[in-house]
Amino acid sequence: MAFGQPKIEYKSNADILRMRKAGLVLAEALDETVAAAAVGVTTKELDNVFAGVLARHDAKSNFLGYFDFPATICASVNEEVVHGIPGSRVLKDGDVLKIDGGAIVEGWHADSARTVIVGENVDPADQRLSDITEEAMWAGIAALAKARYVGEIGEAIDDYVSAAEGAPLGILEDYVGHGIGSAMHQAPDVLNYRSGHRGPRVKPGLCLAIEPMLVRGSIETTVLADEWTVVTNDKSRASQWEHTVAVHMSGIWVLTAHDGGAERLAKYGVTPTPLS
C-alpha cells in the first residue's frame, strides 16, 4: 500500500497460465450461452446453460454468491446496462442482451462479457451500438500492448468512440474495468474514458478486465430495488463487451479469447504472445 492506493497483484507466468485455463472455460461457456439466446428463452435458462459448462469443466463461478449475487451470469436486457439478475424474463425479438460471466480454475479468475441482439428484428442503431462498444474494447486492448500507463487504455477507448461516425454514444463513467487474478475485482480501476489521470505504470504480470459500457443516450443510471440491476435513467439501450488480458515480458495475451486476440488485434499491428 502506497499513498493510500490499493496494492496491485502482479502475476507470474505460471499464474497467467492458470488464468488462461479459466479464460478458455469462460469462452466456451459464453459461446454456448450466446448460442442459446433466442426469442422465447428466459434469462434463467441462459444462466443454467452457462452453469452447465462450468460444471462440465469442474470450474467455479466467481459471480455466484459474490456479495450474495444469486446467479452465475449477469443478464442485462435493453436499458439494463449491467448486473441484471437472471430470472423469468422471456427474451423478445430485437432485445439487446448483455451476458457477463466469470470462471475460477485452480483459484484463478477470468471475466468476460458479450452483447447479443436477439432474434431477427435487429435495430441498426442497436447493432451499431454493440459494434462500436466491441471495437472500442479492442482499441483499448491494443493500446495496452504499447502503453506505459493504464490510463492510456481509457484514452484509446474514448478516442475510438468519439471518432465514430453517426449519432454520439455515451461512455459510462460509474462502471469501469478492473484488475483481476486471485480475486475477480482487484486494483487498478481501468477507466473507459479520458480522465487526465495516467494511472499506474504497466508492468509484466499486470492482468486487467477491460470492459467498456456504452449507451445510446444519457450516461445517467440508477440501481433498481434488487440492489444489483443498473438501468439508464432515460431508458436508452446499452452495450457491454469485456475481455481479460494479461501483460507479460513478451507482450500481451487475451486470456478469454480462443485465439488469444490474434484476429481482432491484427488491424492494430498487435500480435498477442501466448505463454507456453
Residue ranges of the annotated binding site for a divalent metal cation are 100, 111, 178, 211, 242
Three-class DSSP category at 124? helix
Can you state the angle between helices 124-146 and 151-163, rounded to 10 degrees?
150
In sequence order, the 6+-apart residues with CB closer than 8 A to the CB of 218 are 170, 232, 233, 234, 236
Cis bond upstream, residue 6 (ω within 30)? no
Cross-sheet strand order for the sheet of 238-240: 170-171, 213-215, 238-240
Q: Which residues are annotated as a binding site for substrate?
A: 83, 185
In sequence order, the 6+-apart residues with CB closer than 8 A to the CB of 236 are 79, 170, 215, 216, 217, 218
Q: Which residues are annotated as a binding site?
A: 83, 100, 111, 178, 185, 211, 242
